[in-house]
Chains A and B, each alone.
Chain A
Amino acid sequence: VPRVTVHLGSILSKNIGRGNERRLEISLQEGGTIADLVQILKLELEPEKLLLAVNGRVARPDTVLEDGDRVHLMMPISGG
């Protein structure tokens, strides 16, 4: 079973009641994707509205996650 480290942006961690707890360990089913992860976390947001990265690289909602992956789920910034 793949187990991944999830880094949550500040707005997302607050949205799911985790306050400043930004780093979570989550287990997924084999072949699980970022979209699945978003559901497991009950983020109640379409994954297309999030900025996504896996192991420091660009990722998409259908990116399949593997054991040990570092997944970043972030709200896009505004500014810059």
Chain B
Amino acid sequence: MAFGYMGRILHVYLDEGKLEIEQPEESFYRQYVGGSALGLYYVLHHTPAGCDPLGPENTLVLAAGVLTGVPISGQSRLTATARSPLTGAIGDSQSGGFFPAELKFAGLDAIVLHGRAESPVYLWVKDGEAELKPAGHLWGQDTAEVERIIKEELADPKVQILQAGIAGENGVRFAALISNANRANGRTGMGAVMGAKNLKAVVVRGKSRPQVADPAALKELAKWGAENFPDSDIYGMGVYGTAEVLRFQDKDGGLPTRNWSSGTFESAIKLDGSTMAESILKERDTCFACVVRCKRVVEVLEGDYVVDAVYGGPEYETLATFGSYCGIDNLEAVALANQLCNRYGMDTISCGATIAWAMDCYEKGLLTDEDTGGLKLNFGNSRVMVDLVDLIAHREGFGAVLAEGSARAAQMLGRGEELVVAVKGQELPAHMPEVKRSLALIYAVNPFGADHQSSEHDPCYSGYPDRALQLGLDDPQPNDVLNKEKVRYALTTEWLYSAMDSVTICQFVFGSAWHLYDASQLADLVQAVTGWDFSVQDLLHLGEIRLNLLRTFNAREGIDSSWDVLPKKLFQPKVGGASDGVAITLEEYESAKTSYYQLAGWDPDAGIPTRAKLEELELGWAADMLG
């Protein structure tokens, strides 16, 4: 068996209740490595073109990576891949926690979920043995309750559970997969895909461990990380959580406010990580074997917005989308909205941003009380914001419209399209291209819609030149330009991030800037675990494979450059703060997009992978799919 792997991939045919183990050759693992790239291999081979994302033919892959489960920080990560019900394009989403490592311990590298069960079931995998169990009694239950019931019925409090929540059951298009009731494969609606399969949960437990080729080298890298963490730039994320950036984003004019009308929020400090740490923070939490402990656990015992610690605490993105996006500065209300998303299984980014879009429409008179069922959707109305999260998860009242996401909701209503802040139908996360210009390009071209964890952000180029140099990036550029060198930076770091989602590791612990470990150390780690001769160039090559597979899936669906379009709001000047008057220009964006396609080796007009590029990457089979 290849080092680092369990050597087994479980195929679950839900229609027939059939379970099969596949044992790939090492050469297969060497080419696709794990996580997203491996998941895409199976999705492309098992999902027919044109399938309904919420139909039985949409194959869902849950994949760990080669590093998952080895004792070092930042490795317990899981990718979920399928066609997205939110965008219609490829869907791809990552999460941390304890489930990914336990999946390996249970003896599996990945699970490929085919078809749809006749009635609700859950998958139980223990020490390599898998079975489907009835889940009718779990249907309609909150995520924390599902955790409790399953642990009780399996008589094991240490099982790890990944589940589709109530929102996933109800086909909310941005439904998430949830583990530990507080970790999410949040983006692109993978929870809805699992719910549509009548698969309530995947439960894993095991005693196996991945074998490591060079245990001494692994131990040395782990020791280096533990010793250097207190002096690293990521130390602050442990103290403040991801919310450390909020007040600084605001000062830079980069905190999306009132549905992206402004980059500054007058009450930003009320949502900041420092405020959270001194008010509702109960404790810090972590993922398997990680020293950073960036996860927040918050609690509010009384008042209008009571929050239960079992559902964790809000990340930066969540504080922004339910906070500044909606003009809301009530931290407790935002924490409750976060809780509801974890309780019902929804992406906090798309959920908060969709509500912000509705508020913008309401403020401009495009939505009325008649549309909203009497809800006063003014910016700043925290009570209505929280109530809407509940309505969306249950698809009740106006929530049924917003459960479609902002882009589809605008289409359904025939109003508010110009206020939608989304790419390919996926709402923008809380980092503004107006002040970090390469994100204009990455948000637009990313195959699964706007995403902030798909490349390194602009300030990292000049801030960490030594680490950028490891990727061959030797010409740092200012944050507010989108020239050819910035395009090269965006694409090269997009390859790195694609590789990181395939090996699979946390993009806070590993990266090419402020992260604990740099790209060179990541390559050393892969080499230590696998025994392969592995360099930074191999990482970039892997990332290029993954990016081309994502793009191939889209091309097969007829999704081409015409989908790589920025929302209108980004071309409108922001109002107030450090980004007052700043807007992306169509000219700079179009020029960058052309450079990007050229550099990626894709068709310059259609923006899809050429046969030559796919064959160069030994992906001739993918080229055959495109004809």
The 8 A CB mask of A47-80 against B (1 = contact, 0 = none) is: 0010101001110100000000010101111111
User: What 1/0 flags go to B46-76 for Cβ under 8 Å of A?
Assistant: 0000000000000000000000000000000
Any A CB within 8 A of the CB of B289: no
A33 part of interface (Cβ distance < 8 Å): no
Are B464 and A80 interface neighbours, CB within 8 A?
no
* B272 nearest in chain A by CB position: A58
Contact present for A11 and B463 (CB under 8 Å): yes
Residues in B with CB closer than 8 Å to A49 are 248, 251
Which of B235, B242, B278 makes the CB contact (< 8 A) with A80? B242
Cα of A23 to Cα of B231 in the assembled complex, Å? 7
Report which of A22, A53, A60, A79 forms a contact with B239, defined as CB distance below 8 A.
A53
Partner of B236, one of A10, A22, A51: A51
Do A10 and B514 have beta carbons less than 8 Å apart? yes
Contact B237 A58 (CB under 8 A): no
Q: Is the CB of A76 within 8 A of B513?
A: no
Instruction: Assess the A79–B231 pair: CB atoms within 8 A.
Output: no
Contacts A53-B239, A78-B436, A78-B463 known; A7 to B233 CB distance under 8 Å? no
Interface residues in B245-289 (C-beta closer than 8 Å to A): 245, 248, 251, 273-274, 277-278
Q: A72-B239, A75-B463, A76-B244 are in contact. Are A9 and B233 (CB under 8 A)?
A: yes
Assess whether A7 is in contact with B235, with CB atoms less than 8 Å apart.
yes
Q: Is there a chain A Cβ closer than 8 Å to B452's Cβ?
A: yes
Known: A58-B274, A78-B457. A22 touches B231 (CB 8 A): yes
The distance in angstroms between the C-alpha atoms of A57 and B456, with both chains bound, is: 28
Among B233, B234, B242, B277, chain A packs the most CB atoms within 10 A around the CB of B233
**How many Å lie between the Cα of A22 and that of B231 in the bound state?**
6
Verify if B443 is at the interface (C-beta below 8 Å from A). Answer: no
User: Once the chains are docked, how many angstroms separate the CA of A80 from the CA of B240?
Assistant: 13
The CA-CA distance from A53 to B229 in the complex, in Å, is 14
Task: Determine which of A11, A22, A58, A77 lies in contact with B245 in the assembled complex, contact meaning CB atoms within 8 Å.
Answer: A77
* Docked complex Cα distance between A7 and B456 (Å): 25
B578 is an interface residue with CB less than 8 A from chain A: no
Shortest Cβ distance from B278 into A: residue: A58
Interface residues of A toward B: which range? 20 to 34
Partner of B460, one of A53, A56, A78: A78
Indicate whether B230 reaches chain A with its CB closer than 8 angstroms.
yes
| Chain B neighbourhood of A11, CB < 8 A | 233, 463-464
Closest to A74 in B: B236
Q: How far is the CB of B247 from chain A (nearest CB, A)?
A: 8
Known contacts A11-B463, A58-B277: A78-B245 contact under CB 8 Å: yes
Is B508 among interface residues, defined by CB-CB distance under 8 A? yes
Which residues of A have CB within 8 Å of B242? Answer: 80
A70–B235 Cα distance when bound, in Å, is 13
Cα(A34)–Cα(B533), bound, Å = 47
Which of B523-573 touch A at CB < 8 Å? none
B459 in the interface, Cβ–Cβ < 8 Å? yes
> Is A53 touching B508 in the complex (CB atoms < 8 A)?
no
* Minimum C-beta distance from A21 to chain B (A): 10
Please determine whether A77 and B234 come into contact, CB atoms closer than 8 angstroms. yes
The CA of A57 and the CA of B235, in the complex, are separated in Å by 11
Tell yes or no: B613 within 8 A of A by CB.
Answer: no
**A77 touches which of B230, B236, B436 (Cβ 8 Å):** B236
B431 to A53, Cβ gap below 8 A?
A: no
Q: Could you list some 30 contacts between A and B, CB below 8 A?
A: A7-B235, A8-B231, A9-B232, A9-B236, A10-B233, A11-B463, A11-B464, A49-B248, A49-B251, A51-B239, A51-B240, A53-B239, A53-B240, A56-B239, A57-B239, A57-B277, A60-B274, A70-B230, A72-B235, A74-B235, A77-B233, A78-B513, A78-B514, A79-B452, A79-B457, A79-B460, A79-B511, A80-B237, A80-B245, A80-B316
Cβ-closest 5 pairs across A and B: A22-B231, A76-B248, A78-B459, A51-B236, A58-B277
- Which B residues are within 8 Å of any A CB, using their own CB? 230-240, 242, 244-245, 248, 251, 273-274, 277-278, 316, 431, 436, 452-453, 456-460, 463-464, 507-508, 511, 513-514
A interface with B by C-beta (< 8 Å) = 7-11, 22-23, 49, 51, 53, 56-58, 60, 70, 72, 74-80
